[in-house]
Structure 1
Amino acid sequence: MALNLDTLGLSATVTAEGISAPDYQTILDTLTSYFQQIYGSDAYLEPDSKDGQMVALVALAIHDANNTAISVYNCFSPATGYGVALTSNVKINGIARKGATNSTVDLLLTGTAGTTITNGTVKDTNNVIWRLPDSVVIGVDGTVTATAICSKSGAVAAPAGTITTINTPTRGWTSVTNPAAATVGAPAETDAELRIRQGQSVAIPSITPFEGVDGAIANIAGVTRHKLYENDTGKTDGNGLPPHSISAIVDGGDVTEIARTIRGNKGQGVRTWGKTSVTVPDKYGNPHIISFSRPTDVPVYGKITLTVFARVHLSDRCADPAGCYGLH
């Protein structure tokens, strides 16, 4: 019986449902039947024979080639791509995988109005140096908020009020502090995290400005997490948002860049609300105050009830169970 080499049915195929291929055992069984057609049904092709091992090698080669084809096919989609392929795929959405980041912190600088701080640095109580932006100008009220980057990579923590030393004294610059704790550095963005952000990024040109602002904030360098709220009613809502306002809570990222992003994507006439306010100019140079908030740690408490079984001896019981079990 002649073999039809056009219909072996062993290769990966693409249909409307996607790509598929036979498994290894199906390939091996099919090749075994073909060999028996050639050499006879009594041909010995068990795994302990040379011919059987040869058939198995051919089947494994076809199986490996099919798996490679499936991987290549899947790597064309952000939903199933991974690694370098996923990094390349998201470029079509105008975003890039976030690399490992250093810790950042919002600093409140005080001094003489108009003072320019060039390449300034500060130190925390552990003598870790934090770098200010290349140029920072103290505002008319004698203060300015700027985001500093830790000189050391990795998760370097700085609790609130621990960055108070000016490392590069500048005339007119009198003090520095961090009202809130630093946002610790993060490792490189994982595939799962990048897929989520890719989904958010396609909302930037969406039909509603709210999704546009949300997607734009997600793509700011250094932002590790964020949450956006809006109040489209004519009165203050349950979250304390004023009428017709939006409120962004952003962890990480430069305060100026965050303010510019919100300003450039929010709807006209929409007020911004938050505890951090930054003045950014429009393209005509007119100043606009943009407000948002940084997250704050909230203590979590738990109540544990311990029940002593009747069989426990009285001398084994503890007058202070929480203390006995180290729960204080």
Structure 2
Amino acid sequence: MASPTAAVITPTGITAPTYAEILAYLQAKYRSIYGDDVYLEPDSQDGQFLAVQALAISDANAAVIAAYLSFSPGTAQKAALSSNVKINGIARAVPTNSQADVICIGQAGTSITSGIAEDEAGYKWALPALVTIPPAGTITVTATCTTIGAVSAGIGQINKIVTATRGWQSVTNPSSASMGAPVETDPALRARQKTSTALPSRTVLEGTIGAVASVSGVTRYAAYDNDTSATDANGIPANHLAMVVEGGDVTAIASAIAAKKGPGGGTYGTTSATVLNVYGMPITINFFRPTYRTITGAMALKALAGYTAAIGAAAQQAVSDYVNQVAIGGGPSGTVEWADALTAANSVPGSSTFKLTALTLSGPGGAGTPDVPLAFNQAALCTPASIVLTVT
């Protein structure tokens, strides 16, 4: 029989006594040996010695629990989670560069080798190694910022040709750039691991979503399947699939959709790419890049004992982080949730040193009521500085 101080694995999982329970058990055993009148308060030598032993046992139990949980992608963390997801054929995303779909216009047949474009802020954007202008005189490709991290570029801001090439006349980005990301977080990797299991799914839509989610560089995505005979509320035509995809190469995304989508159904979106199907025939795939909507907010805190400016900044960061991870289109609710932002602010370390007295969120259409709605192809964007903090 296991010791009352040990971690125990049962059919329902693993459990372990708390530090207080372990200490109480050791004190009871000590008194059974030396008598009930022995003094074991924290200011005694024997009491401190038992506390050290209890802490060591508690730490060992915590390590055992962490090891037990590391074998499941649902509970593993950091390196263990990175190892677990390999069984699904995926890996933790490394820091990425911003990407933008750009339209290159020029004379038919022009070859652009290692082309570089520049935005209005001076950042360089690299085209694919070789781009050939088709007979139509225009082609859409994905340009990658040469500077790693979250480099932004609004519509039309990537408009300067750096590597002058005969026949290449102009370049512009019809949609905002998808900004680069830091190392993929544990929650994001768990969500992607869950989605990746849909690759061999029995439904076409799940397989298509899984294929797009596995494209390198893709960070967020949403799928809308209008299988009716009429245009739906989002403006998606009858019998069309609309995918909204953030990040990733435009051709790779189109290839993933083409490989998995059902026959006879069309694709809908403002970004287009022509790829070859399994029979070598050209097929045009359409999808959306998300339109970014800036979310701002106002937060009022009442400072209590121990409050510092760093704690207030952490609350601003927490709200900003929540907004930036909201699913494209706002997820099932279609909104940036006020209650979730409130929870994020109240969950920061040191939250006991303040009282959150007010929080409002606003979008392009004004203040939320209290949630801020997003269209099906919109993604929320927020910085800590966008959350105005008032402390009393």
Give TM class, smaller chain.
0.7 to 0.9
Secondary structure of 2:366's partner?
A: coil
Q: Which one is further off, 139-148 or 198-207?
A: 198-207
Q: 1:301 aligns with which of 352, 365, 369?
A: 365
Secondary structure of 1:157's partner?
A: coil
1:213 aligns with 2:213: no
Q: Which residue of 2 aligns with 1:156?
A: 151
Supply the distance in 2 between the matched residues of 1:275 and 1:301 (Cα, whole angstroms): 23
Secondary structure of 1:73's partner?
A: helix
Provide the aligned length of Structure 1 versus Structure 2.
299
Supply the distance in 1 between the matched residues of 2:202 and 2:282 (Cα, whole angstroms): 27
Query: RMSD of the alignment, in Å?
Result: 2.0
- 1:182 deviation in Å? 1.5
- 1:254 deviation in Å? 0.9
1:1-328 matched pairs, under 5 angstroms: 8-297=3-292, 300-302=364-366
Q: Which residue of 1 aligns with 2:385?
A: none
Supply the distance in 2 between the matched residues of 1:168 and 1:23 (Cα, whole angstroms): 65
Structure 1 residues 288 and 7: CA distance shift in structure 2, 3 A: closer
- 1:81 deviation in Å? 1.6
Deviations 1:56-113 (A, max 9, x none): 2222111111111111112222222221212222222222122222111111111122
Supply the distance in 1 between the matched residues of 2:154 and 2:167 (Cα, whole angstroms): 26
Supply the distance in 1 between the matched residues of 2:147 and 2:40 (Cα, whole angstroms): 63
Supply the distance in 2 between the matched residues of 1:210 and 1:130 (Cα, whole angstroms): 33
- 1:8 deviation in Å? 3.2
Structure 2: runs of 5 or more not aligned: 294-362, 369-392
Supply the distance in 2 between the matched residues of 1:287 and 1:175 (Cα, whole angstroms): 26
- 1:143 deviation in Å? 0.9
Secondary structure of 1:214's partner?
A: helix
Supply the distance in 2 between the matched residues of 1:53 and 1:240 (Cα, whole angstroms): 70
Q: Which one is further off, 134-143 or 53-62?
A: 53-62
Supply the distance in 2 between the matched residues of 1:95 and 1:220 (Cα, whole angstroms): 10
Supply the distance in 2 between the matched residues of 1:128 and 1:158 (Cα, whole angstroms): 9
Amino acid at match of 1:285: G
Q: Which one is further off, 63-72 or 30-39?
A: 30-39
Q: Is the 8 A contact 2:2 2:8 kept in 1?
A: no
Supply the distance in 1 between the matched residues of 2:87 and 2:288 (Cα, whole angstroms): 31
Structure 1 residues 233 and 40: CA distance shift in structure 2, 3 A: same
Secondary structure of 1:25's partner?
A: helix
- 1:276 deviation in Å? 1.6
Supply the distance in 2 between the matched residues of 1:46 and 1:238 (Cα, whole angstroms): 69
Q: Which residue of 1 aligns with 2:300?
A: none
Supply the distance in 1 between the matched residues of 2:132 and 2:18 (Cα, whole angstroms): 66
Supply the distance in 1 between the matched residues of 2:262 and 2:101 (Cα, whole angstroms): 26
Structure 1 residues 125 and 48: CA distance shift in structure 2, 3 A: closer
Q: Is the 8 A contact 2:124 2:146 kept in 1?
A: yes
Structure 1: runs of 5 or more not aligned: 1-5, 305-328
Supply the distance in 2 between the matched residues of 1:43 and 1:100 (Cα, whole angstroms): 59
Amino acid at match of 1:152: T
Deviations 1:104-137 (A, max 9, x none): 1111111122222111111122222110111111
Supply the distance in 2 between the matched residues of 1:290 and 1:8 (Cα, whole angstroms): 63
Q: Is the 8 A contact 2:240 2:267 kept in 1?
A: yes
- 1:42 deviation in Å? 4.0
- 1:7 deviation in Å? 5.1
Q: Which residue of 1 aligns with 2:311?
A: none
Amino acid at match of 2:45: K
Deviations 1:249-297 (A, max 9, x none): 2222111011011011111222111122111112332211111122224
Between structures 1 and 2, the one with greater strand share: 2
Secondary structure of 2:231's partner?
A: coil
- 1:219 deviation in Å? 2.5
Q: Which residue of 2 aligns with 1:308?
A: none
Secondary structure of 1:66's partner?
A: helix
Secondary structure of 1:26's partner?
A: helix
Percent of aligned pairs sharing the same letter: 50
Deviations 1:17-76 (A, max 9, x none): 110111112211222222233334444433333333222222211111111111111222
- 1:303 deviation in Å? 7.0
Structure 1 residues 303 and 292: CA distance shift in structure 2, 3 A: closer
